[in-house]
Amino acid sequence: MVRVLAVDDEKPALEELLYLLRADPRVRSAEGATDATEALRRIGRALEAGPDGEDAIDVVFLDIHMAGLTGLDIARLIAGFARPPLIVFVTAHEGFALQAFDLKAVDYVLKPVRRERLAEAVRRVRELAEPALAPTAAPEQIPVELGGVTRFVAVDDIAYVEAQGDYARLHTDNGSHLVRIPLSTLEERWAARGFVRIHRSHLVALRRIDELRLDAGTTTVRVGSAELAVSRRHARQLRDLLMRQARG
């Protein structure tokens, strides 16, 4: 079972998160911290205790905007440890998903936290923290309706997603599928799987980008045979991610 430390400087939000975590049967323990100093002290004790010690922590659920050190700052410090705990960001802000992905966060959960969304984050954590105990993970799939028949498309087969009102069109090598899920929901759900927002209308699997092109102040990417516009808001972060991916 998973051992959790939740960090949030807003006490009501922290108490609500702890309540939801403790209600999950896969969570062995869930403790809270209200600032970075307390959180780092608690993580230090966990590392000294080792993975089998009473103070061990498997995952830290981190708010991003906090007084003093932010959740991103804490995650960077944790990353320098020899055996760091896993990280899940819990935040009211969508704009830090790219940085969370760069810090190898397991998941990125938006506030207000929904029970079923938190349960999905715990599932991902458990598969990484307890691979021997977790069931063999099949590739994540998304159901699509086609002519009255429900089919399942593997998320790993999706190259990019296009917003169409309250719907989203999933583009794969073998065609496209329309699902009744807003693009913002898929952005949150798949951030840890390497999907990045490049435009208000497009979400792209970073690994599927074949080419980044700059032409007269306009940025585009080529994903297979598709050429997609990149908004100015996302262009610099996208270039940085692609460069880090190439170096890695």
Three-state helix/strand/coil letters over the chain: CEEEEEECCCHHHHHHHHHHHHCCCCEEEEEEECCHHHHHHHHHHHHHHCCCCCCCCCEEEECCCCCCCCHHHHHHHHHCCCCCCEEEEEECCHHHHHHHHHCCCCEEEECCCCHHHHHHHHHHHHHHHCCCCCCCCCCCEEEEEECCEEEEEEHHHEEEEEEECCEEEEEECCEEEEECCCHHHHHHHHHHHCEEEEECCEEEEHHHCCEEEEECCEEEEEECCEEEEECHHHHHHHHHHHHHHHHC
What mean pLDDT is predicted for residues 123-147?
Answer: 70
Residue 239, pLDDT score: 87
Residue 132, pLDDT score: 44
Residue 248, pLDDT score: 61
List, for residues 41-52, the tens digit of each pLDDT value: 999 888 887 777
List, for residues 11-70, the tens digit of each pLDDT value: 999 999 999 999 999 999 999 999 999 999 999 888 887 777 888 899 999 999 998 889
Q: Which residue has the higher pLDDT, 191 or 230?
A: 230
List, for residues 207-233, the tens digit of each pLDDT value: 999 999 988 889 999 999 999 999 998
Mean pLDDT across the chain: 88
Q: Which residue has the higher pLDDT, 156 or 148?
A: 156
Residue 133, pLDDT score: 45
Q: Band of the pLDDT at 136, cuts 50, 70, 90? A: very low
Residue 134 scores a pLDDT above 70 = no
List, for residues 93-133, the tens digit of each pLDDT value: 877 877 887 788 888 999 999 999 999 999 989 888 765 44
Q: Name residue 76's beta-bridge partners.
A: none
